Amino acid sequence: MIRIMVVDDHELVRIGLRYILADYPAIHIAAEAGDGETALKLNREIKPDVVVLDVSLPGLSGFEVTARLKKASPCPGIIILTIHEQAPYPTQLLDAGASGYLTKGCPVPELVQAIDTVAAGGRHIGSRIAQQMALQMLPGGSKSPFDELSAREMEVMLMLAEGQKITEIADMMHLSPKTVATYKYRIYDKLNTRSDVDMTRMALRYGVV
């Protein structure tokens, strides 16, 4: 039996997945969490085989949760299940340690297949996501300035876009304020922006937030 943990801040999504996966006796939802900190705590206690994880969470986002789960021992397989299909989300989350990436519009059999594949140590990327990633690699493919950010920089950028202060971000990410400030100005340089307002407007324009 594959033991999974579902991490999503929407209770209806968690209920829906519980109802859907009840038809698959080889998969058991061993834990559920509505935020990243709870997910990390439950992962240490429950040690699931696979974590099905949303990107947009209160507090720690899917980027930071993915990075921390990847360092856990034992390390669960991580499947991102989200509404975000545009760059740079897929590439950066896969680079951060996710083994699967699906959108919430995927067919149920594909989610089940992804869980089976990731639990066995493989990788599964939704066909639409894989096509977009391939097209972006072609000459002349559409690029986003956010492609230049690392997964950690994306995490900081998202928190800044939500209006969180450097000290708050530092506490949440267990970093020093000086380190977070360094990330902030590195993000500004990469995006060619001069303020949080400019950065947030750009993120909205490219569909990142």
C-alpha torsion angle, residues 73, 38, 165, 157 (rounded to 10)? 60
State how far Cα 149 lies from the chain centre: 15
Is CATH 3.50.50.60 correct for 145-205?
A: no
CA distance 63 to 53: 10
Which amino acid is it at 195?
S
57 phi-psi bin (left φ>0, alpha ψ -120 to 50, beta other) = beta
- Give pLDDT tens digits for 50-76: 999 999 888 888 999 999 999 998 899
**With the CA atoms of 127, 125, 159 and 144 taken in that order, what torsion angle do they form, in degrees rounded to the nearest 10?**
-50
Say if CB 76 and CB 51 are below 8 A apart: yes
pLDDT of amino acid 135: 61
Q: What is the structure's pLDDT at 103? A: 92
> How many other C-beta atoms lie within 10 A of the C-beta of residue 162?
14
Residue 155: the pLDDT is 87
pLDDT of 23 above 70: yes
**pLDDT tens for residues 98-122?**
999 999 999 999 999 999 999 999 9
Measured CA to CA, the distance from residue 83 to residue 124 in angstroms comes to 17
**Quick one: tokens of 54?**
């949303």
Quote the strand ranges of 61-128, DSSP E.
77-82, 100-103, 124-125
169-184: per-residue pLDDT in tens?
Answer: 999 888 899 999 999 9
Strand locations in the chain, DSSP E? 2-7, 27-33, 50-53, 77-82, 100-103, 124-125
pLDDT of 142 > 60? The answer is: no
> Which residues make up the CATH 1.10.10.10 domain(s) of the chain?
145-205
Are residues 128 and 141 in contact, defined by beta-carbon separation less than 8 angstroms? no
Domain(s) labelled CATH 3.40.50.2300 in the chain stretch across: 2-136
Q: List, for residues 87-98, the tens digit of each pLDDT value.
A: 788 888 998 899
2-136 topology per CATH: Rossmann fold (3.40.50)
